[in-house]
Chain A
Amino acid sequence: MEKWEEIFDSITKDVKTTNQRDAFLEQVEETSRWIYKGGKKTLSEKIKGAVSEEFRKLVVDLETSSQIPTGGAEAKEFLGDLEEYLNKSTLVKLTLAFFPSQDFLEKLSVWFKKQTGKGAIFDVQVKEEIIAGCLFEYAGEYRDYSLASKLDDALEKELEEAKLVKL
């Protein structure tokens, strides 16, 4: 897998979320099924109609630049390693009060890579109850930066003080 890591990095640069990753993996799997079918056509011709046009264009680019092996077994290994690369990507669970745009995710991804030196795939969940901010889970660590929890803490503090005053 190491020999193709740079290629994988560039192929998957737009895959930011788990949904995008799952969709991408489906198409990789579908492509893998076509390796030994369809006669002597190129892989990009074989998968026409079976995968999205965007993905097919990606495969065309890889064939043009000879980045994808032409032999059946090597191509299978290439696609298998690509799947493994995506499945092993660092997962960051993010809970937001809104669904983020691609730009937002791009900026977040760049920031994350700067902090940790690794790329990440974000498992984004939308929860309007948090009002603003985010809930962040990475490598077993959980952090609550939501506005809702800050308001809860402030309210609890007020209630404690009110109880003391009553006493």
Chain B
Amino acid sequence: MIKTYQDYLKQTGEVGSIEAIVQSIVYVSGLPGVRPKETIVAEGGQRGIVQSLEADLAEVLMLDTANLTTHLSVARTGESFTVAAGEGLLGRVVDAYVRSIDGLGPISGEKKDQPIDPGAPGIVSRVRVERPLETGVSIVDILIPIGYGQRELVIGDKKTGKTTFLLQTIANQAAKGTICIYVSIGKKQDDVKEVENYLKSKNIFNNCVIVGANAADPATMIYLAPYTGMAIAEYFRDSGRDCLIIFDDLSNHAKFYREISLLLKRSPGRGSYPGDIFHIHAALLERAGNITTASGKNVSITALPVAETLEGDITGYIQTNLMAITDGHIFFDIEEFRKGARPAINPATSVSRVGNQTKADLDRGLAQLIREDLSSYQRSLEIARFGVELPAKTRAQIDLGEKIGVIFNQDVTSILPRGLQLVLMGLLLAGYWQGKNASLVKVDVIKIFQKYDKGEFKDIEKQIVTCRSTEDLISLVRTKTSKITEALYV
């Protein structure tokens, strides 16, 4: 039963009065026993969260600002702010207060009140990140692997394909049963709608929740949106399921928090951001991780926060904060984007600090080989810039690098499972495309995708995933080349 102002007044026996209103901040007198982070309710039903306590007044961030007037009475609730999370959220689009905004009516089913700002899990319940999380994007899965429970920052300029990559990851993971939560922070309503349409087109929206706080919403709602998303993720994690949560994007969140802090008269620091900007993002992301439940099951919340840069500058305040907080970052390079790479990920400047420990020996060996080849490719390109005649070895390195680039190039609709990624890499390393140029390789790769979608290569895939080393992979692929050629060209 939802309690009213009168109910709380009777329950707590404390009353206050709004003395001043500054946009979404109100200053309340009275309420002698009020505590920071407590929820208060006004006579008109408007709710707010106490931010700080001064000598005579409490500073409150109002969640509803409609019909607020001075001298309006206010009561304590004795509770911290909670959101109602439940199974009914799956396949729905909600706002930061978990109210439906998809036009399908209220959220049905049993709900549990989840606090939006509990502490992070303690060290005793935490478990090593050991299981690999497949994104379905080969360059990430091979070179910048992510594990369940990891926090990996996705950073890059506007329109470089960050959201596309994230949607491909959601599509892959939701199909495997992971609960995916996409938190849109300060974006346009159109962008949220596009995300919803993409997930519906992949028939995996029933395993997803979208929390949308668009640019037209009050700053308070935008500030709360990531906390709501995390509270929903914690509900599903506690029910025994792995969760993937995406914050798109936290650099925008920082701007709205700055706005609120300046209204709260907090001293501005670097870039006018408040001094606790690192803390709020760190405290939020600390709640992700791999933990063991009371029943002994390992469950995780994997967080993929997004940060926007300008002209590839990753030395910004918020960007460096997030890079310090997370367990690695995937850098979407504007230069790679301009060269036509899709996704425009720069593997040399991206890092995954805990992803490697989730990988099998085969994947680690493969990643090392590919990295060495890509590094040789870059060096060879620099030599080629001088316009001199290149020795055969250098030409071969450039050729191999271009072919690796072709395999790593994936469009929006392609999601590659691990097996298919290994098939492609195995073919490359086994010399299947020796003597062919990159364009022909591209044609072959497209044909392999098409055949795979029709169900071919499944038996090859099954055998390849059992390989233990790159040598095993290469020798297995060599025995299958005739079968593959037959499938592609006959």
Contact = CB atoms under 8 A, between A and B. Distances in A.
A107 interface: no
Interface in B130-167: none
B30 interface: yes
A153 to B, nearest CB: 9
A143 B11 CA distance: 10
Interface in B297-339: none
A52 B13 CA distance: 41
Interface stretch (A1-9, A133-141, A159-167): A133-141
A142 interface: yes
Contact of B32 (A140, A143, A144, A149): A140
A148 to B, nearest CB: 11
A141 B10 contact: no
A137 B14 CA distance: 8
B9 A141 contact: no
Contacts of A143: 13
B226 interface: no
A149 B6 CA distance: 11
Interface in A120-164: 137, 139-144, 149
B60 to A, nearest CB: 14
A137 B12 CA distance: 13
B16 interface: yes
A142 B32 contact: no
Nearest to A153: B10
A139 B9 CA distance: 14
Contacts of A149: 10
Interface string B8-31: 011011111000000000000111
Nearest to A93: B15
Contacts, number: 24
B10 A144 contact: yes
Nearest to B34: A140
Interface residues of B, number: 12
A143 B29 CA distance: 17
Contacts of A144: 9-10
A63 B28 CA distance: 42
Contacts of B31: 140
A166 to B, nearest CB: 19
Residue of A139, A141, A143 most packed against chain B (CB within 10 A):
A141
The SS class assigned to the A binding surface is strand
B56 to A, nearest CB: 10
B10 A137 contact: no
A94 to B, nearest CB: 13
A123 to B, nearest CB: 10
B43 to A, nearest CB: 12
B30 A139 contact: yes
A79 to B, nearest CB: 25
A144 B14 CA distance: 11
A144 B10 CA distance: 7
Contacts of B14: 140-142
B10 A140 contact: no
B4 to A, nearest CB: 13
A132 B141 CA distance: 73
Contacts of A141: 13-15, 32
A144 B308 CA distance: 54
Contacts of B13: 141-143
A95 to B, nearest CB: 11
A137 B30 CA distance: 10
Interface string B232-248: 00000000000000000
Nearest to A137: B15
Contacts of B15: 137, 140-142
Contacts of A140: 14-16, 29-32
B42 to A, nearest CB: 14
Nearest to A142: B15
Residue of A139, A142, A143, A149 most packed against chain B (CB within 10 A):
A142
A144 B8 CA distance: 12
Interface in B198-257: none
Contacts of A137: 15
Nearest to A152: B10
B34 to A, nearest CB: 9
A142 B10 CA distance: 8
Contacts of B9: 142, 144
Nearest to A149: B10
Contacts of A142: 9, 12-15, 75
B59 to A, nearest CB: 16
Residue of A137, A140, A149 most packed against chain B (CB within 10 A):
A140
Contacts of B29: 140
A39 B13 CA distance: 55
A142 B74 CA distance: 11
A137 B29 CA distance: 13
A122 to B, nearest CB: 16
B289 to A, nearest CB: 41
A143 B32 CA distance: 14
Given A141-B13, A142-B13, A142-B75, 14 more contacts: A137-B15, A139-B30, A140-B14, A140-B16, A140-B29, A140-B30, A140-B31, A140-B32, A141-B32, A142-B9, A142-B12, A142-B15, A144-B10, A149-B10
Interface of A: 137, 139-144, 149
5 contacts: A140-B29, A140-B30, A140-B32, A141-B32, A142-B9
Interface of B: 9-10, 12-16, 29-32, 75
Closest 8 CB pairs of A and B: A140-B30, A142-B15, A140-B32, A137-B15, A142-B13, A140-B31, A140-B14, A142-B9
